[in-house]
Amino acid sequence: MKVVLENLTRIFPNRTKGGEDVVAVNGFSFEIPDGKLVGLLGPSGCGKSTTLYMICGLQKPSGGKIFFGEDDVTDLPPEHRGVGLVFQNYALYPHMTVKQNILYPLQNLKGEDKLSKEEMLKRTVEVAKLVQIDNLLDRKPSELSGGQQQRVAIARALVKMPRVLLLDEPLSNLDARLRLQTREEIRRIQQETGITTIFVTHDQEEAMSISDMIVVMKLGVVQQIGKPQNVYDDPANLFVAKFLGTPPINVFEGEVRGGMLFVGGDPILAVRNVPDQKVIVGIRPEGFILDERGPMHCHINGVEVMGRDVSVVATNEASVNPVVRSIISSENNVDTSTGIIRYSIKPNKLFLFDHETEERIPFEV
Amino acid sequence: MVESKKQWKAWLYLAPALVLLAIFTVWPIINTVRMAFLENYSGLKAAGGATFQFGIGNFKKVLEYKKFVNCLKTTSLLCVATVPISTLLALLISVALNSIKPLQKLLQTIFFLPYVTNSIAIGMVFAAMFNIVGSFHGTQNELIATAGIVNNVIEFFGGTAVNWINSGSSYAANITVMIIYIVWNALPFKILILLGGLQSINKQYYDAAKVDGSTRSRILWRITVPLLSPMLAYVIITGFIGGFKEYTSIVGIFGATMGPPDDGGRLNTMVGFIYDALSTNSQGRASAAALILFGIILVVTLINLSVSKKNTHY
């Protein structure tokens, strides 16, 4: 089932007199293709959860429309939309066993959708097997670990075979190791069921690792939509570039003069087709190449060994952040004796942004 | 662990409370038990220096009293009728109160008012509401004039006035009035507790239930009531305990006669029986009755606890 959002807007009116209304989501238009896993990504307060709740039906949009396939569901209450929602803290009913929790949505079905007891039980066991909790059916939620509760919540959302599965910060309550495991699990379940899935996260790594598409949001406005790798490689603006990637992108003040990009006085890259102007330069940590004769120089602070790679922490007078972090292969020997480190730059890991609008400036090498 | 050196200090700080408890709670309880087992114990005789034999004569006498059995019946009837009704009503009212936003605070205050009002005063108001002032004529005792709001309302809708509490009223009518009064009087405390419980339930359960397609009544019975069960257990248990101690409500409506003027004592309760025994200087009998009442409350509470243990989710 494809999900179409048309100019979706949500405004929270201001409670105090004379204050401004808060626009949580502003003109969100997007078509989510059938059977895809889409991550809504952004810092807290960017409207991603509001968007999710509007798709779910728990919140009413102030404007715009939502379609599931060809059906306009904008005014439908959640129970008639055919959505399954997994809450951030799971919201499992504490007084019911796992089995009763999963059965509950089925027992609510009415009319011709009504199932026989055997059918309900069969589907409960099926979905429990899918999320691998079929051995825990008689436990209470309080007797489960966080990861198991998460699976129960997914099972409860899936059992009535929703048209769309919605996950609100599905991994935020899990520890680092479980998070890795669970995100794979979510991916597997999504692919096995083929249900269009939308999930919300503030963790870019999480979003990039499992989504077919990501939507980056900021202050209620969609910044960029695309495949994770494309968004990473080709950010639309400084915000998106900064938001994606760990360690984060290094940002410098720079200037283009006569087709050459200068950062801190160093002419680091020839950029054609860019008129002379002040710019903001973003360089991904993996965009630095150790090069004794490289054009860019930094003052070295130290080297952090991370196993496969080393992270060189340095400073540069033009840097916006306190330190410049580069990731280089540990096979290189970093000479810290001079206190200066020189790099050449991979052109495809460097982005130019307008100094005022922070929009991307394309360039040719 | 408190060091033993400092323990005497702890006891010292506790001492004032312990002394008061010992004098006004522990000793009276012990003394009640003692008096209950002293045959024909009476304050007057005791003052005269008489000695009493130990025995269970007081209990025998109390249980043989027809009056006592009557009191037990009335008390149990009021308990069994009012606790479920008031709990259910309190549940529905608090759920309704919790779901509205405007005027919630005002309505909350209104519902709480009976709690801070003197129950004798409320009883007098109720007595006035259910009163009949009028005269009967002829042999059929036909009523020719009524007063009292309740009967006025009944007559307005074409019914016939009922003699609720005056001379000649029926036991059923009396009990009905008492049930209405006790339920109304018990509501505020229950609403307060249940509303507090409701407000502490995580709203996400309701969002989840909505997404799961629950109807309102299913949400109430499958989500709200189980999540509220600790509070429900509490109000039911305290309701029963309070119910077995019913006394002032009846005095409030019927006065010290504990019944309609022509049949005083008809609505007497266990506590009323104890007071009566005390006023006739039968402390032994009163103590025995008090112990019996204690035993009944204990058993009922234990049953309540064991039932609620199975059905409560903390």
Nearest CA in chain A to B206: A91
Q: Strand pairing partners for A314?
A: A300, A324
pLDDT at residue A175, as a whole number: 83
Number of Cα atoms under 13 Å in the Cβ half of residue B138: 5
Residue B102, min C-alpha distance to chain A (Å): 15
pLDDT at residue A21, as a whole number: 83
Could you tell me the pLDDT band of residue B48, with boundaries at 50, 70 and 90? confident
Residue B197, min C-alpha distance to chain A (Å): 15
pLDDT at residue B135, as a whole number: 53
Could you tell me the pLDDT band of residue B139, with boundaries at 50, 70 and 90? low
Q: Do A79 and B218 touch (CB under 8 A)?
A: no
The 10 Å Cβ neighbour count of residue B3 is 7
Q: Do B204 and A83 touch (CB under 8 A)?
A: no
**For the segment A101-115, what is each residue's pLDDT rounded down to a tens digit?**
999 999 988 877 788
Contact B314, B232 (CB under 8 A): no
Specify the range with the lowest mean pLDDT, choosing from A90-94, B15-19, B167-171, B176-180: B167-171
> Could you write out the DSSP letters of every residue in B265-299?
TTT--HHHHHHHHHHTT-HHHHHHHHHHHHHHHHH
**For the segment A192-204, what is each residue's pLDDT rounded down to a tens digit?**
889 999 999 988 8
pLDDT at residue B288, as a whole number: 93
**For the segment B60-117, what is each residue's pLDDT rounded down to a tens digit?**
988 888 889 999 999 999 999 999 999 999 999 999 999 888 888 898 888 888 888 8
Residue B205, min C-alpha distance to chain A (Å): 6
Please say if the pLDDT value at position B1 is more than 70: no
User: Is A91 in CB contact (< 8 Å) with chain B?
Assistant: yes
pLDDT at residue B282, as a whole number: 87
User: Is A163 in CB contact (< 8 Å) with chain B?
Assistant: no
Long-range contacts of A229-235 (CB under 8 A, 24+ apart): A232/A208, A233/A348, A235/A282, A235/A351, A235/A360
Contact B78, B250 (CB under 8 A): no
Give the strand pairing for A83-86 and A164-168. Answer: parallel
The topology under which CATH files domain A3-240 is Rossmann fold (3.40.50)
Calculate the average pLDDT of chain B.
87
Higher pLDDT, B292 or A338: B292
The 10 Å Cβ neighbour count of residue B276 is 19
Please say if the pLDDT value at position B144 is more than 60: no
pLDDT mean over A246-263: 91
Please say if the pLDDT value at position B140 is more than 70: no
Residue written as token pair 């054009």: A295
Which chain A residues are within 8 Å of B215, Cβ to Cβ?
108
Please say if the pLDDT value at position B244 is more than 90: yes
In the 3-class helix/strand/coil scheme, how is chain A assigned residue by residue?
CCEEEEEEEEEECCCCCCCCCEEEEEEEEEEECCCCEEEEECCCCCCHHHHHHHHHCCCCCCEEEEEECCEECCCCCHHHCCEEEECCCCCCCCCCCHHHHHHHHHHCCCHHHCCCHHHHHHHHHHHHHHCCCCCCCCCCHHHCCHHHHHHHHHHHHHCCCCCEEEEECCCCCCCHHHHHHHHHHHHHHHHHHCCEEEEEECCHHHHHHHCCEEEEEECCEEEEEECHHHHHHCCCEHHHHHHCCCCCCEEEEEEEECCEEEECCEEEEECECCCCEEEEEEECHHHEEECCCCCEEEEEEEEEECCCEEEEEEECCCECCCCEEEEEECCCCCCCCCCEEEEEECHHHEEEEECCCCEEECCEC
pLDDT mean over A211-236: 92
Percent of chain B's residues with pLDDT above 70: 93
Contact B57, B37 (CB under 8 A): no
Q: Do B211 and A85 touch (CB under 8 A)?
A: yes
CATH of B63-113+172-311, one of 3.30.1330.60, 1.20.210.10, 1.10.3720.10, 3.90.1150.10: 1.10.3720.10
Q: What share of chain B is helix, strand, coil (3-state, %, to 5)?
A: 75, 0, 25
Distance CA A89, CA A165 (A): 16
User: Is A109 in CB contact (< 8 Å) with chain B?
Assistant: yes
pLDDT mean over B194-220: 90
Q: CB-CB: which of A58, A93, A160 is closest to B207?
A: A58
Please say if the pLDDT value at position B314 is more than 70: no
Please say if the pLDDT value at position B134 is more than 60: no
Q: Do A95 and B313 touch (CB under 8 A)?
A: yes
pLDDT at residue A328, as a whole number: 87
User: Is B217 in CB contact (< 8 Å) with chain A?
Assistant: no
Please say if the pLDDT value at position A22 is more than 80: yes
Please say if the pLDDT value at position A336 is more than 80: no
pLDDT at residue B124, as a whole number: 84
Nearest CA in chain B to A92: B205
Q: Do B207 and A83 touch (CB under 8 A)?
A: no
Pair of tokens at residue A340: 């200066």
Q: Which of A6, A62, A1, A65 is nearest to A30 (CA)?
A: A6
Q: Do A109 and B208 touch (CB under 8 A)?
A: no
Which chain B residues are within 8 Å of A87, Cβ to Cβ?
204, 207-208
Q: Do B212 and A156 touch (CB under 8 A)?
A: yes
User: Is B216 in CB contact (< 8 Å) with chain A?
Assistant: no
Distance CA B185, CA B175 (A): 15
Q: CB-CB: which of B211, B214, B227 is closest to A95?
A: B227
pLDDT mean over A155-159: 92
Percent of chain B's residues with pLDDT above 90: 44
Higher pLDDT, B221 or A175: B221
Q: Do A79 and B227 touch (CB under 8 A)?
A: no
Q: CB-CB: which of B210, B215, B229 is closest to A58?
A: B210
**For the segment B254-295, what is each residue's pLDDT rounded down to a tens digit?**
888 888 888 888 899 999 999 998 888 888 999 999 999 999
pLDDT at residue A225, as a whole number: 93
pLDDT at residue B104, as a whole number: 85
User: Is A57 in CB contact (< 8 Å) with chain B?
Assistant: yes
pLDDT at residue A131, as a whole number: 87
pLDDT at residue A348, as a whole number: 92
pLDDT at residue B71, as a whole number: 92
Give the domain ranges of chain A.
3-240, 247-361
The H or E element that residue B51 is part of is: none
**For the segment A26-69, what is each residue's pLDDT rounded down to a tens digit?**
888 999 999 999 999 998 888 898 999 999 999 999 999 999 98
Higher pLDDT, B45 or B241: B241
Residue B216, min C-alpha distance to chain A (Å): 11
Residue A183, min C-alpha distance to chain B (Å): 22
Could you tell me the pLDDT band of residue A96, with boundaries at 50, 70 and 90? very high
Give the domain ranges of chain B.
63-113+172-311
pLDDT at residue B40, as a whole number: 84
Q: Do B213 and A160 touch (CB under 8 A)?
A: yes
Please say if the pLDDT value at position B137 is more than 60: no
User: Is B213 in CB contact (< 8 Å) with chain A?
Assistant: yes
pLDDT at residue A67, as a whole number: 92
Distance CA A81, CA A58 (A): 11
Please say if the pLDDT value at position A250 is more than 80: yes
